[in-house]
Amino acid sequence: MRNISNNLRYLRRNKGLTQQQFADLMEIKRSLVGAYEEDRAEPRYDLLKKFADFYELSIDDLINEKITDKWKPKPKADASNIRVLSISVDSEDRENIELVPVKASAGYLNGYADPEFISELPKFSLPILNQGTYRAFEIKGDSMLPLQPGTIVIGEYLEHWSDVKSGETYIFITKTDGVVYKRAGNRFKENKALKLISDNPVYEPYTVQAEDMLEIWKAKAYISTSFPEPTPEPTMESLTTMMAQMQKSIMQIQQDKN
């Protein structure tokens, strides 16, 4: 990825290191450094982590940010930092996508940081998701219709609370509600609380405190055996329900502002 190659080249030069000196420090071949900086190859996760630690950066910054003289790292308030992630890799040292089925959701609250628990989860890979850290969660209930219960949502690990964007969907791992798939709403109280919204208007939005959040995964794809039904023609009853829900939402927004 272009950001990684440019960032590695900039950071090395900013440290006053040659490619050979950096390779020696990282205990790899100089040719690999050249391949990474010229975007001819991508470092494995363990090397990315080693590079990020050496430059005192997060992996997310190293991959996604354009690091220059004017760049500054994002502030990392205590409440914004998600805990250290446990992962598993395949025989070629590539990160797996672990699947958390509904029956394992309760255990995930205790085992999400336990490498042994993570290693025992079902695993798979997708060629379209070859850069980043991903995990799959089977959703339950009808709060996110039209996504049906049993749908598997694949999320990319989000390192910082401050990266959550209003209106986008995430898998939130919370102490109170466990594994939930919701749409992010507004952040409140200096980013110490976040509103979670169901796509099904029958369910009311609710607020989660930062200290209640264990992990956040940005929804990237989903797998389902249920195919979408044709959109029915609106009825007077459905339009009345929609209008009532809109009025409640507007009132809630006004209350939040006050």
Q: Per-residue pLDDT tens for 147-177?
A: 999 999 999 998 877 789 999 999 999 988 8
- Nearest CA to 52 out of 62, 41, 43 is that of 62
Q: What is the mean pLDDT of residues 9-36?
A: 92
Q: What is the Cα–Cα distance from 231 to 28, expressed in whole angstroms?
A: 56
Q: Indicate the pTM of the whole model.
A: 0.60
Going from the C-alpha of 56 to that of each of 11, 39, 50, 83, 136, the distances in angstroms are 11, 22, 10, 17, 29
Q: What is the pLDDT of residue 210?
A: 84
Q: What is the Cα–Cα distance from 141 to 144, expressed in whole angstroms?
A: 8
Question: 177: which 2 tokens?
Answer: 């509600």
Range(s) for CATH 2.10.109.10 in the chain? 80-223
Q: What is the pLDDT of residue 157?
A: 92
Report domain 2-64's class.
Answer: mainly alpha
**Mean model confidence pLDDT for the chain:** 85
Q: Per-residue pLDDT tens for 108-159?
A: 988 888 888 998 999 998 888 877 899 999 999 988 888 999 999 999 998 8
- Nearest CA to 45 out of 125, 124, 130, 122 is that of 130
Q: What is the mean pLDDT of residues 34-47?
A: 87
Q: What is the pLDDT of residue 29?
A: 93
Range(s) for CATH 1.10.260.40 in the chain? 2-64
Q: What is the mean pLDDT of residues 240-251?
A: 79
Q: Per-residue pLDDT tens for 60-82?
A: 788 878 898 888 776 544 444 44
- Most confident option among 42-46, 54-58, 74-78, 150-154: 150-154
- Nearest CA to 112 out of 182, 181, 177, 173 is that of 173
Q: What is the pLDDT of residue 80?
A: 45
CATH label, 80-223, candidates 2.40.30.30, 2.10.109.10, 2.70.98.20, 3.40.470.10: 2.10.109.10
Q: Per-residue pLDDT tens for 179-231?
A: 999 999 987 655 678 999 999 989 999 999 888 888 999 999 999 998 877 76
